[in-house]
Structure 1
């Protein structure tokens, strides 16, 4: 819009100036002709007419130039307003915007330098040395290395030469010394600066804590069994596989539990009663473990618990405790049924180091318990 306005101004100015010169040249020619061929009085009158015409043209030029100046001023003012609106809109999206001169390994603005210094970075510290200081001061420990890897000068230059125009990283940050953390997203726009032939990046910091919390709530709902509130089968499998991959060789206990005679509950009292038993049993089971332990319902009245174990003896004591706690009478609206559980256990790595192996071996141990009377536990022993 601004370029179009300036183009119109230039065209109008050119036409006015050209017209003025044509008028002046025309009257100058008439004046010279009058001086040579006309009587003195008539020549004087022509000269006076020329002067009046030139004056009129000059006045017209002054008026037009004034209008042009006003139009240009309004255009510039409009551009400034547009820039201000854009800046304010940007400030609503991002907490801060900083600039880095990656080629010369330094902050590229006073605001960026001030931000570095506010976090304890000495004045004029190179960017690659300032980055780890900033990470230690604000970023939660598990996100620091990812932050450093993403925004290191080497990675930024590699991204630029690979044709990438931006980098993004989500992490948790604290501005109160580590007491409280919230989610932050950094988007870095990489560009070439002609003035000093440098590769630079604008760093946009955006608070995404609300968005992340919503995503986590949705993910949590997708991972939960609607009846029991425990992890569903898919989530249970994925979480156990992740643990086995991240810490291979660690001692884990894989508990598989069934509610004894659950079919009788459904047949005697109906499925509504059965659902109430599942819900109550699941809540009681969940309370026997920490929030970090994996407790899931994998179908019907089958439950799985996966937990890091300090020793085999500890696992046996835990199994005995569960049998005692999960042996009770469930009552609802005058209806009553006795609840107990059977437990099959597989220990990793001796009974397997992957989900499928542990599942099969715990299921085999559970089958042995059921075959010999239920309301007991068995730990799988490899042959």
Structure 2
């Protein structure tokens, strides 16, 4: 395989791994496909190459009520400037005849011969649209309930029960909580009657890590602040925590005082977990499963920004000794195995809130928060033992070693960049003195 062909193969593999629908087609009436990624075809249920155009008369993919009109579409761009992106939503026909909605972020490209291409990213937003429509329907039910409340409390209750999703109605005057039947079916008897916020604090229904944020958000909402991230985990009657989006509305009396708060729960568990899975994939290095360089630096700077006065943290920069020789003489497969072994050992040796990342081919970073100098020395010895314990399956006689440089916050730097530079200098001092050891930056500047 030629180098160019290999590069094209790697590019296609990366595009397909990302899971996004990539599309490039001619700007003609048929929207003839020039290139489309595997996820694009999978989105529509076709095999690769099975469709050649979006708007063909024989096998149209574009829905009949959305036929492509080139002059109208060209008006989406600024006059004479085709460099900007255009965001549009389209309804497409799958192979099985069902429709899906997709969001298209397109750019118009003009080739040297004057031909025009439309290229961009296609995302399936069918579930998002359904969720949005569902939220709108439920909000309409709530608005209708508010209009009817003054006329008839009984009619109000009937309307509330029409909602398929769980609803909680809290009376600020009496501190009574009304639970809709779907709420009771999903969550049981609900919270205590000592007040809504107090009930939330002492109830196991709310996931422990979400509890304080939910209380703070609801308190802020009662005082006029907008809910920023209203997604929380609640335990159902089976003891399983699921993600819900909480929507609230406030009813005030004729004096403007708080009268009621209606809280509406939308099950978004599948959507939320998929979003978290994609975010996790974007933040991780593919080979090692550790944080990638961008995520590592961001998380370290975030941890430093959140530090309280008097905090002390340590950044360990780890380099596998003679890694180039491993690849050159023993093969890249063994090199990948060593990377995988080192990564697995690092993950197993540190706490969940420690930051462990792979920032280059054979370089790793470990950031430990709130650590003493004595523990820094112990962790350095632990890291060296990690390397000594590695014996690749393909070559059990091969000994892996590592050189480690350490910098300390705030003594050696107050952000990731400064700490990395000091740890890098310490690590190269180890390399210069025979490798397979550890050095703290203070030791080379005394």
Structure 2 unaligned blocks of 5 or more:
1-158
SS at match of 1:277: helix
1:25-174 to 2 correspondence within 5 Å?
Answer: 90-91=163-164, 94=165, 96-100=166-170, 119-121=191-193, 129-137=195-203, 138-152=205-219, 155-156=221-222, 158=224, 169-174=230-235
1:227 aligns with: 287
> How far did residue 209 of structure 1 move?
3.3
1:130-157: per-residue Cα shift (whole Å, max 9, x none)? 43233322434554443334334x7446
- Write 1 or 2 for the structure with the bigger share of helix: 1
Bigger Rg, which one:
1
Query: How far 1:246 sits from its partner (Å)?
Result: 1.9
Is contact 2:314–2:406 with CA below 8 Å preserved after alignment? yes
Q: Tell me the alpha carbon deviations over residues 25-53 of structure 1, each in whole angstroms, 9 at most, x when there is no partner.
A: xxxxxxxxxxxxxxxxxxxxxxxxxxxxx
Change (3 A) 1:284 1:142: closer
Match of 1:359 in 2: 420
User: Is contact 2:407-2:441 (8 Å) kept?
Assistant: yes
Shift of 1:192: 7.4
Separation of aligned partners in 2, 1:297 and 1:366: 16
Which whole-Å CA distance do the structure 2 matches of 1:225 and 1:173 have between them? 31
Once residues 288 and 150 of structure 1 are traced to their aligned partners in structure 2, the CA distance between those partners, rounded to angstroms, is 36
Question: Which whole-Å CA distance do the structure 1 matches of 2:415 and 2:429 have between them?
Answer: 22
1:278: which partner in 2? Answer: 339
- Residue in 1 aligned with 2:322? 261
Q: Deviations over 1:281-306 (max 9, x none)?
A: 22223222233322110011000111
RCO higher in 1 or 2 (8 Å CA, sep ≥ 6)? 1
> What secondary structure sits across from 2:316 in the alignment?
strand
Question: Aligned-residue CA RMSD in angstroms?
Answer: 3.9
Q: Scaled by the length of structure 1, what TM-score is found?
A: 0.61
TM-aligned CA deviation for residue 310 of structure 1: 3.9
User: Against the structure 1 CA distance between its residues 320 and 118, is the aligned structure 2 distance closer, same or farther, given a 3 Å change threshold?
Assistant: closer
Alignment of 1:168-183 (within 5 A): 169-174=230-235, 181-183=241-243
Q: Distance in 2 between matches of 1:352 and 1:209?
A: 41
Give the TM-score normalised by the residue count of structure 2: 0.53
CA deviation map 1:201-222 (0-9, x unaligned): 5321233333333222222211
C-alpha separation between the residues in 1 aligned to 2:286 and 2:241?
30
Q: Is the CA contact 2:284–2:291 (under 8 Å) kept in the aligned structure 1? A: yes
Distance 1:135 1:324, change over 3 A: closer
1:186 matches 2:246: yes
> Which residue of 1 is the match for residue 298 of structure 2?
238
Change (3 A) 1:218 1:117: closer
Tell me if 1:339 matches 2:400. yes
The answer on whether the counterparts of 1:295 and 1:304 sit within 8 Å (CA) in structure 2 is yes
Aligned residues: 281
Are residues 1:307 and 2:368 paired?
A: yes
